[in-house]
Structure 1
């Protein structure tokens, strides 16, 4: 990616010097959802996708950006040049997602409420609870913020064998995809539906929203690739590789030597790469209807 010299987002909170109490994985974070014939969720996706109506037309009355903290916090401790460059990189990627989704929402007659990206180190407090770096990047629907410990990118490259700046950009774009789902009402409906489901049913439901977030990341990549001098040859392959490297089947096989399909909650490697590719090739929200898809 040729990202240097491009606009960075103002919607970044740098909490890397603030620390935080280490706690268990966030239990209440709104990052998953989907649809398996559940009435509440199909009301949302049925209106938006099954009837062919652009879901953004449902958002025409939304205020843009109201209630979001757009202040950039300054770190107190000096950062290495590599740390500073990575922080600038994610700021530029976030800004480009703002451009992309802002235009898509505008085309649908709505205003895009931009999320805030929180950079943290070690552990962090969110409206969804406390999380450690082991949680990985996540989106909290309760405060409309994305959270990432930038050391995750080292793990992505070294342990998960998914190097490259566009692989890193895909991870962030996936979390932005969850924000889109939150704005459209999918995540709140999932949280409500999940309370009535068995663990296996909830996992199956979560796969559909995770794959849709991958598809939304592909939509961003579609428009990023249309910009002159931004996306380079091989970048999309980096994203596809990252999507496949973090599939449930691949991660389980690496961790324990076998897979348990009923425990999948993000999708297989093939599914994640496939849905990212659908979004990338189409650039169309309607292509990301994981909810009515007979097979994933």
Structure 2
């Protein structure tokens, strides 16, 4: 894929101290692994674990200097491209886009949602409007889940930015409020719709970015679709425990994630991403 400038909204905490897996305690580590393998919302996991404010062994904010390594600069350019896309889209609808901050960390780090751990994978915290990622996740995506490629990596960032867009539009708050009135099964179904919408919004970004700046190259779309399929709840559960429990899905099946990313990519419309008005199964 072709990218341009780097973003000024990257906070590099790598090497700032802290960090190894397991230093959050056994209970926290088990919950973190649940987030990775069973599709649990990482922000919810952190709050349930009661990890907020814990730990002298987690990364603290670093100096804020821009990343200089290739991987760090790449995600910075992806973030910049999402800024260049969502800014005009918000403006066209009479709104102002407030760009999120992307936090790079190693092992574990503090967030306003609690302590984030690498095993949870990338996540967005609505309380501080920051995206968090340990870039070792990309190696997992490539080796374990067989979803390599730069656009597969960009899709991951674009999905988390999709959650930021939902937060700015007030969608996330409404879903969280509604979940409090529902049982676990119904709450999970609502979470699936939220996650699938973030996939669709990632597709909307790619649609407009490619038309404005021709970012896509041959094979890029296939890379993103492979990544979306690789992290579907059904595939992760099958790999993690050998069987699938659809009522426990919180992010959607591989087929659902592929379908909604493709919807955004092909239509480029926020209206097309209304997963909450879709059919009961959000197929």
TM-score, normalization: structure 2? 0.83
The answer to whether residue 12 in structure 2 is matched with residue 14 in structure 1 is: yes
Q: Structure 1 segments of 4 or more deviating over 6 A? A: none
CA RMSD, Structure 1 to Structure 2 (Å): 2.1
Q: Which residue of 1 aligns with 2:2?
A: 2
Map Cα deviations across residues 234-286 of structure 1 (whole Å, 9 max, x no partner): 10110011001110111111122211110111000000000000000011000
Q: Which residue of 2 aligns with 1:219?
A: 204
The answer to whether residue 236 in structure 2 is matched with residue 251 in structure 1 is: yes
**Larger mean Cα displacement after TM superposition, 220-229 or 17-26:** 17-26
Secondary structure in 1 matching 2:103? strand
Secondary structure in 2 matching 1:239? helix
Secondary structure in 2 matching 1:291? helix
TM-score, normalization: structure 1? 0.80
- Please tell me whether the aligned partners of residues 20 and 125 of structure 1 are also in contact (alpha carbons under 8 angstroms): no
Distance 1:248 1:239, change over 3 A: same
Q: Which residue of 2 aligns with 1:196?
A: 181
Deviation, structure 1 residue 73: 1.2
Q: Which residue of 1 aligns with 2:64?
A: 73
**Number of equivalences:** 249
Q: C-alpha distance in 2, partners of 1:276/1:151?
A: 24
Distance 1:234 1:107, change over 3 A: same
Structure number with greater CO (CA < 8 Å, separation at least 6) is 1
Q: Which residue of 2 aligns with 1:85?
A: 70
Secondary structure in 2 matching 1:118? strand
1:248-287 equivalences in 2 (<5 Å): 248-287=233-272
Secondary structure in 1 matching 2:116? strand
Deviation, structure 1 residue 228: 4.8
Secondary structure in 2 matching 1:74? coil
2:92 to 103, 107, 118: 107
Map Cα deviations across residues 58-116 of structure 1 (whole Å, 9 max, x no partner): xxxxxxxxxxxxx97138xxx9xxx8101000000000000100010011111101100
- Structure with bigger helix share is 2
Structure 1's unaligned 5+ residue stretches are: 32-70
1:171 to 156, 162, 167: 156
